[in-house]
């Protein structure tokens, strides 16, 4: 709630055109080894102030919470050690990595195209006031 929902929203629905909807799609990334790494290496995860153990726990919770259920059931939970290893290699081209993964998964990329500020930040409040 403190670190992630400003952008992802409490229900995971995100912000259209800026933050992807996690519902029914997040766990699909786990079908590919690179996708499994992506969920840890994406900036919102990798650069958060969560410890490796905390990030592993949040990601494991997200996989089950947002599904799809079949992928969540098949998923091997993240460990703090795995998160530590993957986190040491941040993504250089986040959008490109995401597009490539979605193409391999047969999903239409649902766009984050512009950088976003967490909801409620001064920038967003200004942007929405006119």
Applying CB under 6 A, the residues found at the interface with ligand HEC are: 3-4, 6-8, 19-20, 22, 26, 39, 42-45, 48, 50, 58, 94-95, 98, 112, 116, 118
Shortest reach from residue 2's CB to ligand HEC, in Å: 9
**CB closer to ligand HEC, 84 vs 94:** 94
Q: For residue 49, report the phi and psi dihedrals to the nearest 5 degrees.
A: -85, 10
Name the residue with the smallest CB distance to ligand HEC. 44
Smallest separation (angstroms) from ligand HEC to the CB of 73: 18
Q: Which two tokens stand for residue 60?
A: 């494991």
Distances, alpha carbon 75 to alpha carbons 16, 45, 60, in Å: 27, 18, 9
Minimum CB distance to ligand HEC, residue 99 (Å): 10
Q: Is 23 in contact with 124 (CB distance < 8 Å)?
A: no
Nearer to ligand HEC, 73 or 107 (CB): 107
Distance CA 58, CA 5 (A): 12
Least distance in Å: CB of 130 to ligand HEC? 22
Among 119, 90, 84, 130, residue whose Cα is nearest residue 1: 119
Place of tokens 């996690």: 22
Closer residue to ligand HEC in complex, CB, 24/69: 24
Residue 63: CA count within 13 A, CB half-sphere: 24
- Name the residue nearer to ligand HEC (CB basis): 2 or 73: 2
């Amino acid at each position: 709630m403190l670190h992630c929902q400003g952008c992802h929203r409490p229900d995971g629905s995100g912000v259209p055109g800026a933050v992807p909807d996690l519902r029914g799609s997040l766990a699909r990334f786990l079908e590919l080894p690179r996708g499994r790494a992506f969920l840890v290496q994406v900036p919102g995860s990798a650069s958060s102030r969560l410890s490796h153990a905390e990030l592993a726990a949040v990601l494991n919770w997200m996989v089950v919470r947002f599904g799809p259920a079949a992928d969540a059931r098949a998923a091997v939970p993240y460990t703090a050690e795995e998160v530590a290893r993957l986190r040491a290699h941040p993504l250089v081209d986040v959008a490109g990595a995401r597009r490539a993964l979605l193409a391999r998964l047969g999903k239409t990329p649902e766009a984050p195209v512009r950088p976003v500020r967490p909801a409620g930040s001064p920038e967003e409040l200004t942007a929405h006031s006119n």
